[in-house]
Amino acid sequence: MKLNQPIRSGKMKSNTITLAHGSGGKAMRDLIDDVFVSGFANEELNTLEDQARFGLDLFTQYGDCLAMTTDSYVVDPLFFPGGDIGKLAVTGTVNDLAVGGAIPLFLSCGMIIEEGFSVDTLRKIVHSMKTTADEAGVKIVTGDTKVVHKGAADKLFINTAGIGVIPEGIQIAANRAKPGDVIICNGFIGDHGAAIVDARGELAIENTIETDCSILSPLIQAMIKVCPDIHCMRDATRGGIATVLNEFAQSSNCGITIFENDIPIRNEVRGMCEILGLDPLYLANEGKVLAVVPANKAEKLITKMQQYSSGIHSRIIGKVTERPEKRVILKTHFGGSRIVDMLVGEQLPRIC
């Protein structure tokens, strides 16, 4: 189904967002036309209906199961080394689809904007979203805009929802880990958390780390081609790799052992964590995937992953065991062991 209408050309008359831009009237229409429709331009969005419309055959050509996800982004600050809230909003939702084996196709975008927010800054964020969506091969096809009184929100919050299709025969789930499986990570952990600490500038720490915020779907689709029987897979965002591994162990009623010597952590991130009393296993990531796979597929899988920029540093970091059930154990540098539990509280608030 194709609905072709010309893009409407709005004319913003203000350099900042006002309450009128959320009123449903002409000012709001100008904002939508001039910033969002022109910024995200595609034929599904350009119709400006209350919903995006697709023929069902568009989905069935990719697989037999729809996948849908949603997430909200409140990161502070809005811009940080290597990324911004717009890039984060697209990558986060695309990656949540991809780790389930889905081919991401379409996104929605809901924005809550504080009165007085700069229109030029909003344009930069929209441009970042469009650029990232193009990289991921997805379209932003519908959305919503709300404006709240100054002080009722902190600059800008974004919600994105995504739809994708899972090819027939792919069954990736947190409850499929089996003793003997190995755990693969695609690179250095904790970079996003370190980048946000640097961007906030509150702790007088000089840091050259950029966020790892990146689209993982090409890497993951390549992984699935090599090993269609990936048992578990998730991107390690809030709560870090420790949280994801605990979710696998609890859902699969198994144990997981990881090896400190094999976990890739940049020296800069490790040093920052030592100064601040943080554990890098719990630091947020925005471009890291953990996969639980049969041991006999691991070597071939890692070879393929290392052909992608987002997987150059891929390696095995642990294994699945029968005991202790529902526990994650870290084998330390010094030959000891400690339990890696679920994160209690929040190490760094508003990280994504």
3-class DSSP string for the chain: CCCCCCCCCCCCCCCECCHHHHCCCHHHHHHHHHHHHHHHCCHHHHCCCCCCCCCCHHHHCCCCEEEEEEEEECCCCCEECCEEHHHHHHHHHHHHHHCCCCEEEEEEEEEEEECCCEHHHHHHHHHHHHHHHHHHCCEEEEEEEEEECCCCCCCEEEEEEEEEEECCCCCCCCCCCCCCCEEEECCCCCHHHHHHHHHHCCCCCCCCCCCCCCCCHHHHHHHHHHCCCCCEEEECCCCHHHHHHHHHHHHHCCEEEEEHHHCCCCHHHHHHHHHHCCCHHHCCCCCCEEEEECHHHHHHHHHHHCCCHHHCCCEEEEEEECCCCCEEEEECCCCCEEECCCCCCCCCCCCC
Query: pLDDT-derived band of residue 2, with 50, 70 and 90 as boundaries?
Result: very low
pLDDT tens-digit map of 232-275: 999 999 999 999 999 999 999 999 999 999 999 999 999 999 98
Is pLDDT above 60 for 85?
A: yes
Same domain, 262 and 146: no
Q: Which range among 291-300, 323-332, 335-344 shows the weakest confidence by mean pLDDT? A: 335-344
Same domain, 192 and 335: yes
pLDDT on residue 20: 95
pLDDT on residue 235: 98
pLDDT on residue 9: 52
pTM score, two decimals?
0.94
Domain assignment present for residue 5? The answer is: no
- What mean pLDDT is predicted for residues 195-224? 89
Q: Which range among 51-60, 309-318, 339-348 shows the weakest confidence by mean pLDDT? A: 339-348
Same domain, 41 and 161: yes
Query: pLDDT-derived band of residue 51, with 50, 70 and 90 as boundaries?
Result: very high
pLDDT tens-digit map of 98-114: 999 999 999 999 999 99
Strand 139-148 relative to strand 103-114, pairing: parallel
Same domain, 108 and 161: yes
Same domain, 324 and 196: yes
Last residue of a domain, which of 108, 142, 166?
166
Share of the chain above pLDDT 70, in %: 95
pLDDT tens-digit map of 121-137: 999 999 999 999 999 99
- What mean pLDDT is predicted for residues 152-171? 97
Same domain, 76 and 156: yes
In terms of Cβ atoms closer than 10 Å to its own Cβ (0-12, 13-18, 19+), residue 340 is: buried
Same domain, 137 and 218: no
For residue 74, what is the domain's CATH number? Answer: 3.30.1330.10
Domain assignment present for residue 332? The answer is: yes
Query: pLDDT-derived band of residue 4, with 50, 70 and 90 as boundaries?
Result: very low
Does residue 1 or residue 158 have the better pLDDT? Answer: 158
Share of the chain above pLDDT 90, in %: 88
Domain assignment present for residue 42? The answer is: yes
Same domain, 129 and 188: no
Domain assignment present for residue 351? The answer is: no
For residue 320, what is the domain's CATH number? Answer: 3.90.650.10
Domain assignment present for residue 4? The answer is: no
Domain assignment present for residue 175? The answer is: no
Range of the domain at 97: 19-166
CA separation for the pair 84, 282 (Å, rounded)? 21
- What mean pLDDT is predicted for residues 300-325? 97
Q: Are 290 and 297 in contact (CB under 8 A)?
A: no
**How high is the mean pLDDT of the chain?**
94
- What mean pLDDT is predicted for residues 336-349? 87
pLDDT on residue 5: 44
Domain count, the chain: 2
pLDDT on residue 167: 97
Does residue 14 or residue 90 have the better pLDDT? Answer: 90
Q: Please state the separation of Cα 204 from the chain's center in Å.
A: 28
Query: pLDDT-derived band of residue 50, with 50, 70 and 90 as boundaries?
Result: very high
pLDDT on residue 195: 94
Same domain, 148 and 187: no
pLDDT on residue 3: 37
Query: pLDDT-derived band of residue 6, with 50, 70 and 90 as boundaries?
Result: very low
Domain assignment present for residue 3? The answer is: no
pLDDT on residue 203: 67
- What mean pLDDT is predicted for residues 218-244? 97
Domain assignment present for residue 260? The answer is: yes
